[in-house]
Amino acid sequence: MKEERNPMLGDREECPGCKVERIKRQQPALLSTSLFPFIYFMVRDFHIAKREEDIGYFAGYIGSSFMVGRALTSIFWGLLADRYGRKPIILIGTLSMVLFNTLFGLSTSFWMAISMRFLLGCFNSLLGTIRAYASEVCRDEHRALAMSMVSTSRGIGLVIGPAIGGFLAQVVYNGYGVKSKVKGDDF
């Protein structure tokens, strides 16, 4: 008798969730992409780079600080989600994302920006917890669809987030009644 395999434990050809996971393994996705439309301007306005060519160097530190924080705390958030439940951890993650993204956007110095991105990564408990929650609440026949929806919604966020960030950065940069509070710049 042929043994039935769980799609979460193996890679099956007909499984939609497995197909999405195979595609994701081929293309690295970064949660930090939402800052790419404006990070150049943000670092430039901090006046920390001596030359224009150095802006990318400092922007790399800001971008990577998110992943450093996430790498240090992912297992911790998984253990808390197992002990206290998925919903409280998802709520904490959502509130911390709002708080630290707002504080990052209001950063007035390079070190504040790095600190906020690092803390954003440290308190980012969403992706793993939501995947675990989706796999627990769905019946076996709908589990692959649920996992695909989690990945799809993440992908949509990776498209919409930078678009909104780029639009708002241009609104501020063009000076539609908004003034920058960085180093006395007036538009």
Which CATH architecture is the domain 31-174 placed in? Up-down Bundle (1.20)
DSSP single-letter state for residue 187: -
Per-residue model confidence as pLDDT tens digits over 52-101: 889 989 998 998 898 899 889 988 998 999 999 988 998 998 899 889 98
- State the Cα–Cα distance between residues 90 and 85, nearest whole angstrom: 9
- Taking the chain, what is the end-to-end CA distance rounded to the nearest angstrom? 73
Res 34: pLDDT = 64
Per-residue model confidence as pLDDT tens digits over 113-169: 999 999 999 998 887 888 888 888 888 888 888 888 887 887 887 788 777 777 776
- State the Cα–Cα distance between residues 152 and 57, nearest whole angstrom: 31
**Torsion sign across C-alpha atoms 31, 35, 40, 46:** negative
CB contact at 8 A, 45 and 185? yes
Res 25: pLDDT = 45
Per-residue model confidence as pLDDT tens digits over 5-38: 444 445 556 665 555 555 444 333 444 566 777 7
